[in-house]
Structures are given as C-alpha cells and as structure tokens.
C-alpha cells in the first residue's frame, strides 16, 4: 500500500468515524414529524393538556392540514371562550358541524379533491338533552327529566359533565360515518385525569343506588338485609332534611325516580366510547408548553394514558424559546463593555439579553428532556415561539408548517441550528 492509498484509507476511516459520531450525536436527523402519520391515517385525534397551552389552535391546525390532505375532517371544540371560533374566523358555532369557510379551505364539492373541513362547538346542555331524549322511554319521562331543577343544574354545572358530553358527541359523530377524521379539543380541565374519569364518575352518580336509597325513602326499598339499611338511611334522611330543608331532596329524589331505567343505556354507551378511544386508529396528542406546570400535567397525562392502554400519538410542545449560537464573550470583556460608551453599553445589554435567552432555552430543553425520561416512548414536536398569536387561517397554516416539519438535527433547537 503506497502512501497515497494509505492517506485515502485513513481519510475513509475518519469519514466513517465522523459519520458514526454524527449518527450517534444526531439520532433523529430529519425524521418525520409524528403528526404526519396521524394526520394521514388516524380516525380520531384527541388533543389534551392543561389550559392555555395552545390545545385549540393545535387541534385546528391538525384538522386543517388533514382537510388539505384530502380527508373529510371535523374539529370538535368544547372551550367556552369560543377560541376555535376565533381561530377559524367564525362568530358562532352550532351544536352540529358546519363547514369552515375561508380562502384555500377545502370543502365538499369544490372540485379540488375529497377533503373538507367542518367545525363544531359543543353545547353541553343541548348535548345532554339530546342524550336524555335518546334514552327516555316516552315523552312523559323526557319532560319530567328536562323540567327537573336538579337535572338542569346537573347538566350545566356538574364537574365532569363537559368531558362526558364531549365523548358522547364524539361517539355520535363517529357513528355517523360522515368523516374520515375527527379532531377533538378537550375541555380546559386543569386536572388531566378528569377527562378519562368523567364518564365513570357520571355513571357512578347516575347509578348511585346507595344514594337513591338515601334520598328516596318514600320508594319501596325491599326486604331482608335492605331493611336494616333502610332504617339507617331513614335516620340519615331525617338529618339531611333538617340540614337542607326538604325541597332539595324532593328534587333530587324526583330526578332519580324519573331517571329510572336509563342507567343501563348510559353505562353501555360510556363503555363503547371508552373502547373507541382505545382503538389503534385513535391518537392522543398531548399538548404542553415548556413551563414546569404544563409539562408536569403533560407527563401525568401521558402516563395515565399509557396505564389505560390508550394510544399515545405525540407530544407537542408549543412556544419553545430558542437562542442562536454566538462566540463566547468572557466576563472580563462584558465588564469592559458595561463600563464603556453608549454603544458599548448597548452591546453589553444585548449580550446579557442573549445569555438570558440562552439560559431560558436551556432550562426549557432540560425540563422537556426530564419529562421524556419519565414517560413512555413518545414522538415530540417542538414549536418555537411564533411572532404572533394564532387567530386566523393564516396563523393556523404557519403553526401547521411547524407542526408537520421534519424533526431537525438537534431536538434542542427546533430550527435545526443546534
């Protein structure tokens, strides 16, 4: 082997070593966004996370992209502040899906392809009424329930009702087969658990036989061991009556009496919804920001989904700060600048701000990494802090461009300038 060939072999070895080091250091170079697969193939996408993390705009951006990819898509939002309405430039959404109008938004029959985008906002009370309508034996039972004051409060104020009704509506839309993809923006509950537990909790309430015993002493309770229980509950009821006056109990008792026979339908339906959420064609997208609280909730939710064997699709971290690298400036030089003329002091200030941004970006990456270490394997999409709030279709498309971009060189820098 002559010297030339030797050098070449060395260079080759170096190149290989470099490439290996490169692969090792950058395992995720330009891998596809985990949302791409979801937007093409999923039937149901559920965006969840704590409030104020950009859940609604993320859901809307995913839905818009799916429609543009030729899928019949509907986005379902529950947020009472009507954020999606603003994001989609709509003033009012009904309790049924309506087409989203806007420049470049695909719609049924526009000749541009099969894709379309509908949006709806959940009216909790109306959805609950519809459910009662579906299960009521007859007009009389329906009227008795709808007129009950306890029901009226239950259907509009009880924690968990929102979540349950969202699932109810999701199931109804799914069964209608009108859409290829349903994107759900979950209620702004701070406690991630609420969403999964709400159906159970509501069922527990509606099926609270013990409670019915307690509040309905006038009804026949039966014999045997129930007799003892009946004595105890009668005593309790007397006390509860003394505590609250009788009307509250009368209303509650009336409600449960009117509700008789509807529990099983409710329960069965909730079970079917729960099964639907577990299907492989469903994808949960956990949304967060790099703040400690939002990431804690995201981690909690990811682990809870895994424990319930729910299909975890991706983690989206919105509003990530990033700093571009500059050469290091030693402290002594910073001091010289800070003690200099106006230009030098301005430069010192800019450097200090840069270092603060670097520290913030690094702290965020550390928090994200420590979350990823605590949750099951999940694809991450980081969205850098955008210059403007997302409140129109153009904003949704800008957000979409970030959501569906390939995952760059270093996960630490969403723009790939790591």
Partner 1 sequence: MTPQDVLDRARLVVVTGKGGTGKSTVAAALAMAGGLRGRSTLVAEVEGRQGLAPLFGKRVLGHDEPRVATRVNGLAVDPEASLREYLGRYGFAPLARLLTWAKLTSIITAAAPGLGDVLLVGKVWEAATRPGLNAYELVVLDAPPTGRVVPFLRAPETVAELARVGPIRHQADRVKALLDDPKRCAVLLTCLPEELPVTETLEAAATLRAAGLPLAGAVVCRVTPDRLGSRASRLAALAKDPAPLAKAAAEALGGSGGMVPRPDGSRAEPMAVAGPPDGSGPLEPDSLGVLIGEARDRQRQVNRERRLIKELAAGLEGLPVAELPLLPDGASGPEAIRTLAEQLLDSPLASPAPTRVHA
User: Of 234-263, which residues contact partner 1 (CB under 8 A)?
Assistant: 236, 239-240, 242-245, 247-248, 251-252
Of the pair 33, 318, the CB lying nearest partner 1 is at: 318
Which listed residue (52, 89, 99, 217) binds partner 1 by CB under 8 A? 52
Site string for partner 1, 55-94 (x = CB under 8 A): -------------------------xx-x--x--------
Which listed residue (26, 211, 221, 230) binds partner 1 by CB under 8 A? 211
Find where tokens 């229980």 sit. 229
Contacts of 400 (CB under 8 A, 6+ apart): 61, 62, 64, 65
Instruction: Please give the size of the binding site for partner 1, defined by CB under 8 A.
Output: 77
Of the pair 188, 311, the CB lying nearest partner 1 is at: 188
Of the pair 206, 403, the CB lying nearest partner 1 is at: 206
- Burial degree of 395 (CB within 10 A; 0-12, 13-18, 19+): middle
Of the pair 142, 229, the CB lying nearest partner 1 is at: 229
DSSP letter (8 states) at residue 407: B
Does 408 contact partner 1 by CB under 8 A?
no
- Among positions 362-381, residues that touch partner 1 (CB under 8 A) are 363, 367
Of the pair 51, 261, the CB lying nearest partner 1 is at: 51
Q: Phi/psi class of residue 138: alpha, beta or left (left: φ > 0; alpha: ψ in -120 to 50)?
A: beta
Q: How many CA atoms lie within 13 A of 110 on its CB side?
A: 20
Which listed residue (9, 15, 232, 369) binds partner 1 by CB under 8 A? 232
Of the pair 204, 308, the CB lying nearest partner 1 is at: 204
Minimum distance between the CB of residue 309 and partner 1, rounded to whole angstroms?
A: 25
> Can you tell me the distance from the alpha carbon of 147 to that of 353, in angstroms, rounded to the nearest whole number?
61
- Among positions 181-210, residues that touch partner 1 (CB under 8 A) are 188-191, 201, 204-205, 208, 210
Which listed residue (357, 392, 398, 415) binds partner 1 by CB under 8 A? 357
Residue 287's alpha-carbon distances to 37, 89, 199, 403, in angstroms, are 17, 22, 22, 12
- Among positions 122-161, residues that touch partner 1 (CB under 8 A) are 149-150, 153-154, 157-160
- Burial degree of 94 (CB within 10 A; 0-12, 13-18, 19+): exposed
Which listed residue (22, 30, 308, 349) binds partner 1 by CB under 8 A? 349
Minimum distance between the CB of residue 333 and partner 1, rounded to whole angstroms?
A: 4
Of the pair 101, 336, the CB lying nearest partner 1 is at: 336
Of the pair 211, 274, the CB lying nearest partner 1 is at: 211
Minimum distance between the CB of residue 126 and partner 1, rounded to whole angstroms?
A: 17
> Can you tell me the distance from the alpha carbon of 413 to that of 410, in angstroms, rounded to the nearest whole number?
6
Piece of the chain touching partner 1 by CB under 8 A; list 122-130, 263-271, 347-355, 368-376: 347-355
Does 360 contact partner 1 by CB under 8 A?
yes
Which listed residue (122, 214, 405, 407) binds partner 1 by CB under 8 A? 214
Minimum distance between the CB of residue 30 and partner 1, rounded to whole angstroms?
A: 16
State how far Cα 69 lies from the chain centre.
22
Which residues is 382 bridged to in the sheet?
A: 317
Return phi, psi of residue 86, to 5°: -65, -45
To 10 degrees, the CA torsion angle through 163, 169, 170, 174?
A: 160
End-to-end CA distance of the chain: 40
> Can you tell me the distance from the alpha carbon of 134 to that of 416, in angstroms, rounded to the nearest whole number?
53
> Can you tell me the distance from the alpha carbon of 180 to that of 172, in angstroms, rounded to the nearest whole number?
14
Cβ neighbour number for residue 40 with a 10 Å cutoff: 13
> Can you tell me the distance from the alpha carbon of 215 to that of 252, in angstroms, rounded to the nearest whole number?
7
Piece of the chain touching partner 1 by CB under 8 A; list 23-31, 50-58, 128-136, 164-172: 50-58
Minimum distance between the CB of residue 111 and partner 1, rounded to whole angstroms?
A: 35
3-state secondary structure of 169: helix
- Among positions 285-344, residues that touch partner 1 (CB under 8 A) are 289, 291-294, 323-330, 332-333, 336-337, 340-341, 343-344
β-strand 72-77 against 181-185: which pairing, if any? parallel
């Amino acid at each position: 082997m002559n010297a030339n060939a030797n050098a070449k072999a060395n260079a080759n070895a170096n190149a290989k070593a470099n490439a290996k080091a490169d692969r090792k250091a950058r395992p995720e170079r330009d891998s596809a966004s985990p949302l791409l697969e979801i937007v093409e193939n999923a039937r149901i996408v559920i965006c969840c996370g704590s409030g104020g993390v950009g859940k609604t705009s993320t859901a809307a951006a995913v839905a818009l992209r799916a429609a543009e990819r030729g899928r019949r898509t509907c986005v379902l939002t529950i947020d009472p502040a009507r954020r999606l309405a603003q994001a989609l430039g709509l003033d009012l959404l009904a309790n049924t899906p309506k087409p989203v109008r806007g420049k470049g938004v695909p719609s049924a029959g526009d000749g541009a392809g099969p894709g379309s985008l509908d949006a709806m906002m959940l009216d909790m009370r109306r959805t609950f009424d519809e459910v009662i309508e579906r299960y009521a034996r007859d007009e009389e039972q329906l009227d008795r329930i709808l007129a009950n004051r306890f029901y009226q409060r239950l259907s509009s104020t009880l924690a968990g009702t929102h979540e349950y009704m969202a699932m109810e509506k999701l199931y109804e839309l799914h069964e209608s087969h009108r859409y290829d993809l349903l994107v759900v923006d979950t209620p702004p509950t701070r406690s991630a658990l609420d969403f999964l537990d709400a159906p159970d909790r509501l069922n527990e309430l509606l099926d609270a036989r013990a409670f019915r015993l307690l509040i309905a002493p006038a009804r026949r309770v039966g014999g045997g061991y129930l007799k003892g229980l009946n004595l105890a509950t009668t005593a309790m009821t007397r006390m509860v009556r003394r505590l609250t006056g009788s009307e509250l109990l009368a209303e509650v008792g009336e409600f449960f009496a009117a509700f008789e026979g509807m529990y099983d339908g409710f329960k069965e339906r909730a079970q079917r919804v729960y099964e639907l959420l577990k299907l492989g064609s469903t994808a949960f997208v956990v949304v967060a920001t790099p703040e400690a609280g939002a990431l804690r909730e995201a981690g909690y939710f990811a682990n809870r989904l895994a424990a319930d064997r729910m299909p975890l699709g991706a983690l989206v971290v919105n509003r990530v700060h990033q700093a571009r690298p500059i050469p290091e400036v030693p402290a002594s030089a910073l001091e010289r600048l800070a003690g200099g003329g106006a230009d030098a002091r301005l430069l010192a200030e800019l450097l200090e701000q840069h270092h603060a941004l670097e520290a913030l970006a690094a702290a965020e990456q550390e928090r994200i990494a420590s979350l990823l270490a605590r949750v099951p394997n999940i694809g991450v999409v980081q969205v850098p802090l955008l210059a403007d709030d997302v409140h129109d279709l153009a904003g949704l498309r800008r957000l979409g461009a970030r959501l569906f971009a390939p995952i760059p060189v270093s996960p630490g820098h969403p723009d790939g300038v790591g």
